[in-house]
Structures are given as structure tokens and as C-alpha cells.
Amino acid sequence: MEIEIKPAAQLNPQEREALAALYAAAFQPGARDFVWAASDWHVLVREMARLVSNVEIVERTAAVDGQPVRLGGISGVATMPECRRRGYAEAGMQVAQSFLRRKLGVDFGLLICADGLVPYYGRLGWRVVPGPLVFEQPAGPVTSRDTIMVLPVAKSEWPRGTLDLCGRPW
């Protein structure tokens, strides 16, 4: 297994094609109906030069009840269906989490999660925090009650209040 962290702006055409194929295979049609934020970083997991898993990272200063909080947003966690349950996503997540701590130095990692994945991310050190969550969409702000999970990085106590992503979701 080979894992590389790469700025999104530096992905070459072959990597972009491989990511498009990964997303098409990993996500159900309509699963990503919102307009999403562009990622800043990709954690690319390869096996024998083939892209088998990916984790995206978005750097953002958001606000909780108006107070700024620096976030490393995790999104685009995907593994080729035939490669699941082999530890690829977990390895990618561990590298992403280390990157949040050592390179980005954000206050918290943050991901928006389907309820069925809470135990998985919980085992990796993430914890559920209360919402609500507000983010931008072309038609205007959206308030969501989706499950929010954070990973303490530079700070340990998540502030209480409404989380405004100050942009599109990831």
C-alpha cells in the first residue's frame, strides 16, 4: 500500500480520472446532491499503482455562535467496492488525521457523517457533537441536523452553539 498526500491543485489528469472513477463506483447516484466545497488536499491510497481509496481535506475557518474555529474538514472518504474491508480507508484516515495535527495545526477535524458510520469513525477517535449545522448553497443558507463528528487537534473542548461552515459543506 502506498499513501500520498497531494494538494488538489496539483492532481494530474490521470489522478483526476481515477478519482472520478472511484467516486462513481463508491457513491450511490444522488448521494452528493448538494453543491460541495472543493477540497484542498487529497490522501490518495494506492495498491500496486491503482487508486483504491481517497480522503479529501478542506481547510476552513468556520464559526460556532460567531466565534472562529479552524477546521480540517474530512470528506470524499471512498474505497473501490471490491477493495473494501482491507483497511485502505482506515489507513487513509490515519494519515489524514496526522496531517491535520502536524501540518495544518487546526483546532479540530470535522466531518459530516451518516448515522451508520458513527461507530466506524468513533473507533478512529472522532466524537459526535451537537448541531445545528449551517452551510451555503446556491439558493441560500441551509440548516441541517446531520450528524457532526469532530476530532480534537489543537483544542480539546468543542464549543456549544450553531456551527456555521462559512461556505459550502464538505
Distance CA 29, CA 31 (A): 5
- Asked if residue 90 belongs to a domain, the reply is yes
- Asked if residue 34 belongs to a domain, the reply is yes
57 to 9, 39, 99, 162: CA distances (angstroms): 13, 6, 9, 22
Distance CA 99, CA 40 (A): 12
Decide: residue 100, CB within 10 A, 0-12 exposed, 13-18 middle, 19+ buried.
buried
How many structural domains are present in the chain?
1
pTM of the model: 0.94
- Asked if residue 170 belongs to a domain, the reply is no
Distance CA 72, CA 110 (A): 6
- Asked if residue 169 belongs to a domain, the reply is no
Q: What is the pLDDT along the chain (170 residues), one digit of tens a residue?
A: 999 999 999 999 999 999 999 999 998 776 557 899 999 999 999 999 999 999 999 999 999 999 999 999 999 999 999 999 999 999 999 999 999 999 999 999 999 998 999 999 999 999 999 989 999 999 999 999 889 999 999 999 999 999 999 999 99
Q: Answer yes or no: are the C-beta atoms of 2 and 14 closer than 8 Å.
A: no
How confident is the model at residue 29, as a pLDDT? 74
Please report where in the chains the cell 439558493 appears, as a residue: 139
Domain that holds residue 146: 2-164
- Asked if residue 85 belongs to a domain, the reply is yes
